[in-house]
């Protein structure tokens, strides 16, 4: 109560003096400098974070569109209702989408999922498996791509 009577309801000067006594003079100068740079904002308000630029937005949009096309191709291949000429295009579609996603989101750890998928759907040296094995691979890949795309939507690249 003595602080409130002495300083009114603004106890910041007293707290600043106490804090300076605890941490020392150099740190208090650095803190005062930070306060000048950030300005006096109300409590709970953060400084404006750097917003992603146009290139980042286009890269994220391209990645999500490629993943959506790969999901459609994987779903079509899994259902086997597509003609043969489209079935030969699935490795190319998936390879392009998975490689781009792995490179675009490399810092997020997405490469650990998308690089093996890109190698699996590699159109240059194709892997010959039975139809049943490819059906399982396609549905698992489809589920992984959908889950990762939803994760990318929730946490876009900055």
For 24-36, what is each residue's pLDDT tens digit? 666 667 767 777 7
**Per-residue pLDDT at 46 exceeds 70:** no
Write down the pLDDT at residue 95: 92
CA distance 28 to 112: 45
Give the pTM: 0.61
What are the domain boundaries of the chain?
A: 2-38, 54-154
pLDDT higher than 60, residue 140: yes
Work out the average pLDDT over 74-82: 77
In this prediction, residue 19 carries a pLDDT of: 66
> What is the mean predicted confidence (pLDDT) over 72-101?
81
Place of tokens 């106890």: 11
d(CA 115, CA 101): 9
């Amino acid at each position: 109560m003595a602080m409130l009577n002495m300083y009114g309801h603004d106890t910041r000067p007293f707290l600043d003096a106490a804090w300076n006594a605890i941490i020392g003079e150099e740190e208090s100068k650095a803190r005062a400098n930070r306060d000048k740079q950030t300005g006096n904002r109300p409590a709970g308000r953060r400084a404006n974070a750097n917003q992603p630029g146009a290139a980042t937005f286009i890269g994220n949009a391209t990645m999500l569109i490629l993943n959506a096309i790969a999901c459609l191709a994987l779903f079509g291949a899994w259902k086997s209702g597509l003609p043969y000429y489209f079935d030969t295009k699935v490795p190319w579609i998936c390879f392009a989408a998975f490689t781009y996603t792995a490179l675009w989101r490399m810092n997020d750890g997405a490469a650990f999922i998308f690089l093996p998928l890109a190698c699996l759907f590699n159109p240059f040296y194709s892997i010959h498996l039975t139809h049943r094995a490819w059906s399982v691979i396609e549905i698992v890949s489809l589920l992984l791509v959908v889950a990762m795309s939803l994760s990318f939507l929730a946490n876009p690249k900055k």
